[in-house]
Chains A and B, each alone.
Chain A
Amino acid sequence: MAFPILTSLIALPVAGALLLLLVRDDEKNEPLVRNIALVVSTLVFLETLLLWSRFNPASADFQFIERYAWMPAFGIEYFVGVDGISLLLIVLTGFLTPIALLCSWESVHKKLKMFCVFVLLLESAMIGVFVSLDLFLFYVFWDAMLVPMYFLIGVWGYDRRIYAAVKFILYTMAGSVLMLLAILGLAYLHPDGPTFDLLKLYAIEVPRNQQFWFFLAFALAFAIKVPLFPFHTWLPDAHVEAPTAGSVILAGVLLKMGTYGLVRFAFPLFPEAAAFFAPYLAGLAVVGIVYGALVAMVQPDMKKLVAYSSVSHLGFVVLGIAAMNTQGVQGAVYQMLNHGVSTGGLFLIVGMLSDRRHTRLISEYGGLKNVVPRLVAVFLLVTLSSIGLPGLNGFVGEFLILLGAFRWDPRFAAIAATGVILSATYMLWMFQRVNYGPVTNEKNASLPDLQPREWLVIVPIIAMAIVMGVFPNLFLRPMEPSVQRMLNQVHNGAPSRIQAKSLP
């Protein structure tokens, strides 16, 4: 039997968390705790790279499949596998977690052990979401992920952390419980009795009326997670109040689960309903693009600005998915990775500034260029990557999405394109107010520049931004066959569609 690489990816962080629980929680052990967590998460990252190197990019099928019976009476299995769409998201998860841990090296001291435990448990659940090919298993990870994130925001966050944490968990749950019912309904539709096997469910033809409701239930859960306008209101609160590590993981990985869910579940399972609802989704997406950008422009708080920019950027991703053509979907998946890197980077930099000054208000800063030139240099690079400057990562994704959207419906592309301009406006304006001009606030006059640890945090981000901007094919090629297969599924239906039985 082959080495169960996916299971080990899920199990390794949990094992690390259990190991940490054995360590006594006192100040003497702080370095030990940090190092265990960092080593475990780095091992996970290396293992995701190993996964990538073993992955066969020419194949559209799921690879590294493992399946074991779990609750056989209900057709529930432990069934995991990756394809080109989920592969890179797993790598992204592995990439961002050690960075998130490293960036809280100095800022988190309270209950450090549990902080690391929750980050590792969260990582495990996130990987679980991306590899699950059994809908029940997927739901288990999807829901299990909420708890550690809730604690990360609620315990280690800023002033209004409790409100933000409760809002986060209730919003997400409210959306996902209806998806649970849709999953159950779908499972009972299969002629062989209940099955949660995604590949078997891909093959059934769901009656039109039920497609409609199931798609709505799935789409609501994912739209809240993305978050799509008008379901986005939990996001600014959660982002602003979360500790930097929480924001990085939230923006970097958690939001991608919504869009990943659309690509993996909602569209291929219910193609007719998807075709019907795609224009509405795209409509909400472009509203979100413009609205997010406009709101971001007037934010006095840097973290809130970045949070609203996420609403805008994720709108692009949904637009690309709704277009349902090769460029659109490839661009969407690419943009998921980009957004993880560049917005993760922005949160890291905001975190560094607020570690120094304990404020995130733009008006408190000004003229940092002369005080901390290196920090400002990396800030600029990350900002440009977020705006989508050609040569950096953001450009490739947005360009592909706009191309795909244009081929589908030029009106959406036209409105979305204004989002590109607006994003340049709000990001650069913020950058200018923070970094240029004279030093107006003397508290800023003697800030320390980047520390070695901070270099270690930010350099991988910048390296990724450049690599992804210059060699996009490295990332696009492995996902291409899978994206193509998924598009065929949506457009033509699966080769052997079986008629579903109707519910009583």
Chain B
Amino acid sequence: MSFGSWNAIVPMACVTAAALAAMVAEAFRAPGERMPIGPLGAIGLAGALISSILLWSDGASSFGVVLADKFGLFVTFILIIAGFLSLAISEPTIDREQLPRGEYYALMLFAVAGMMLMATATDLLVIFLALEVLSLAVYVLTGIRRDHAPSTEGALKYFLLGAFSSAFFLYGIAFTYGLTGSTRLDRIGSLMAAQGGSPTPMHLMAVGLLFVGFAFKVSAVPFHMWTPDAYEAAPPAVTGFMSTGVKAAAFAAFMRVFLAAFDPLRPSWSLILWVVAAATMIAGTVIGVSQSSVKRMLAYSSIAHGGYLLLALLAANDVGKAAMLFYLLTYAVTNIGAFGVISVLETTDRPNDRVRDYAGLWYSRPALAALMTIFLLSLGGFPPMAGFIAKWYVFSAAVKRGYTGLAIIGVLTSVVSVFFYLRIIVMMYMTTSDSPVRIPPVPRMAGAALVVSAILIFYLGILPTRVLDWAAASISTIF
């Protein structure tokens, strides 16, 4: 065990420092004074970005439990992008709702740091630690509108269920430790492989409990119940952040734990994963069709996208692992964009998140409507948007591995999901409203973030080669 290098934790240290600075700044802020706390966070993220780029070619390992390999760094990049975009689109929400600026940014940055740790941790206990760091921050962010009853309700639901699932996760770690005497992923993997033979009930308990813990975090069916409530409760900027950041971090750890440590037990979990992936894709899309709130609809869409990621996890070949990374990146850019538009449309007295509130948006705000269309079409998987390449990549992995049945379920549910993405487009373009929604002007930073997301979507959709190569390089370092 080498304690020599601290390099691997530099990216998250930068973000944590920015979070601490934000808290200190908030403490010294006179009431009503505007402090540039958002830019402070951006500086922290920029530091994380630079240090991650420096780490990219050689990688680093700290304390034997944090491994900044290409895989972890790729996810870190996704988290940094998600962090930047979320900071930018948070501005209008904070101003309108008069949220405590410093706390909001500090919580968001702590969450990012926790996610980064989760993506790079190679020890079950550190993964648990990271999970708690990010979860606690996100629970609070969900309920940050304290005087808003539904918001508090959603946050409490999220917290109770989340705490419950953390217990599952911890119990799973305990079983694993009992079986192998270690919490380090590589040792668990080699010991499991050495034990061989058919798995004992203890093994199944360990795998099953950890699976439940992860399934909850990635909102896989049947552990998805909290998702629509929490997504609706949180301010849209937070929802965009947590739907993408938490997913990216949780899937990164999911992949490390199941493909590195529990790969020897694959026969016993692959069937479960098959069923859960199918159920997640089907339930996410089918229930999504009947939603009338755009946020809830996107929550179910997020569940369905989780199903496609599970499909990539199940395929677990070189294509599948890289597909998952590319998908997470695409999904982060797209979904934050979509929630960014929602957050811009919100006004103090109305959330404006009913599907019918979008009626005639094209006629009143053509640019916003066009951006929303790009995000929705990308979520629906239309070329030349990034979502198409991402879905194609996942299905390609599934076909290559021979999971044709699941791939068929995947493509058919993606057609169904197009139906509800189109509902919003229909509203924006093909209907007009008698009482048009009054939309506040779009703040410059938020507008810029939306445009950057749209550009990234086209870039990843038309010229994906470079990023695909990075994703492929990322998975070659591990497993």
Interface positions of A (Cβ within 8 A of B) = 25, 70-74, 111, 136, 139-141, 143-144, 146-147, 150-151, 154-155, 161-162, 165-166, 169-170, 173-174, 177-178, 180-181, 184-185, 188, 194, 503-504
Contact = CB atoms under 8 A, between A and B. Distances in A.
A147 B469 contact: no
Interface residues of B, number: 33
A72 B465 contact: yes
A169 B380 CA distance: 12
Interface of B: 362, 366, 377, 382-384, 388, 392, 395-396, 399-402, 404, 407-408, 411-412, 414-415, 418-419, 422, 426, 429-431, 464-465, 468-469, 472
B388 A178 contact: no
A387 B308 CA distance: 50
Contact of A73 (B377, B382, B469): B469
Given A173-B415, A177-B414, A180-B411, A144 B468 contact: no
Contacts of B388: 140, 143
Secondary structure at the B interface, as helix, strand, loop or mixed, is helix
B408 A181 contact: yes
Contact of B402 (A146, A174, A177, A504): A504
Contacts of B400: 184, 188, 194, 503-504
Secondary structure at the A interface, as helix, strand, loop or mixed, is helix
A155 B422 contact: no
In the A-B complex, the 7 residue pairs with the smallest Cβ-Cβ separation, listed nearest first, are: A177-B411, A140-B383, A184-B399, A504-B402, A154-B430, A144-B383, A173-B415
Contact of A144 (B384, B392, B401, B415): B384
Contacts of B414: 177
Given A144-B384, A177-B414, A188-B400, A154 B395 contact: no
Given A147-B377, A177-B412, A74 B396 contact: yes
Given A70-B465, A71-B468, A166-B422, A185 B404 contact: yes
Contacts of A178: 408, 411
A132 to B, nearest CB: 12
A165 B422 CA distance: 10
A139 B366 CA distance: 29
A25 B363 CA distance: 11
A303 to B, nearest CB: 20
Contacts of B392: 136, 180, 184
Contacts of A181: 395, 399, 404, 407-408, 411
Given A71-B464, A181-B407, A161 B430 contact: yes
Contact of A504 (B383, B396, B401): B401
A462 B135 CA distance: 70
Given A73-B468, A188-B399, A155 B429 contact: yes
B423 to A, nearest CB: 8
Contacts of A143: 382-383, 388
A155 B404 CA distance: 37
A155 B373 CA distance: 14
Nearest to B318: A73
A184 B464 contact: no
Contacts of B431: 162
Contacts of B362: 111
A177 B415 contact: yes
B319 to A, nearest CB: 8
A162 B377 CA distance: 17
A161 B426 CA distance: 10
A136 B469 CA distance: 18
Nearest to B407: A181
A173 B408 CA distance: 13
29 contacts: A70-B465, A74-B468, A136-B392, A140-B384, A141-B383, A143-B383, A143-B388, A147-B382, A150-B422, A154-B430, A162-B426, A162-B430, A165-B430, A166-B419, A170-B415, A180-B392, A180-B395, A181-B395, A181-B399, A184-B392, A184-B395, A184-B399, A184-B400, A184-B407, A185-B404, A503-B399, A503-B402, A504-B400, A504-B401
A71 B465 contact: yes
A187 to B, nearest CB: 8
Contacts of B404: 181, 185
B336 to A, nearest CB: 22
